[in-house]
Each structure stands twice: as structure tokens, then as C-alpha cells.
Amino acid sequence: QVQLVESGGGLVQAGRSLRLSCAASGTIFSIRAMGWYRQAPGKQRDLVATITSGGTTNYADSVKGRFTISRDNAKNTVYLQMDSLKPEDTAVYYCYFDTRASVISAYLKLWGQGTLVTVSS
């Protein structure tokens, strides 16, 4: 079965950068989108960035101009480059793959385990 493994989180000072990675293990039949959500303590999980199979990207207004989503199709990996980090970026970050098992299966989101990003002032 496909599993998503995240890495790259940690503690960083405001203004610095981090890059998150999310790699899929196992066979992938079809991916129509990949992306990242984040959830701060006491808040709902919000969409941060997406990239479609065609390469179209989309960002939440709060991270636009600071974060960049990218992918490596050969490695089934999606990245989130986070620059100019702010304390309000502190959250658990979750990657997802919007995928399906076969041509007759429904698309669904597979989730990573989450990685904690803490930005100090």
C-alpha cells in the first residue's frame, strides 16, 4: 500500500527557511494533485499549497510570495520550500496526494503523518 513519509520540519528562527519533503512509497497509479495543509494548535486544518498533475500551483494568501510548492515525478515526491518564515507559520504540516488505485476507482486523499514546524520570534 502507498504511504506518504514527511521530513524537514523543525525549530527555526523567524526570517529563516525550511524545506519540507513528502515522498510516496509503493506503486502510484494516478495522481491528479499534491499539496500541503497545516494545522496550528486550537485551529482547523487549512490548505497551504497545491500543485496539479499539469503543474498548476495555488497558494493560500497567507503564504503567497514566501512559499513554493514543487514536485519530482520520478521520485513521487512533493516539496514545500518555506522562506521568510513567521511565527504565525508555526503548525503541523501535512502533505497529501490526490490519487486513485485504478481507472475505475474514485480519487481520494492520502495523507502524510505530519511534521511540526516551529518558528520562534
Report d(CA 48, CA 61) in Å as an integer: 9
What was the pLDDT predicted at 101?
84
List pLDDT tens digits, range 84-106. 999 999 999 999 999 998 888 99
List pLDDT tens digits, range 63-85. 999 999 999 988 999 999 999 99
Environment class of 120 (CB within 10 Å of its CB; exposed 0-12, middle 13-18, buried 19+): exposed
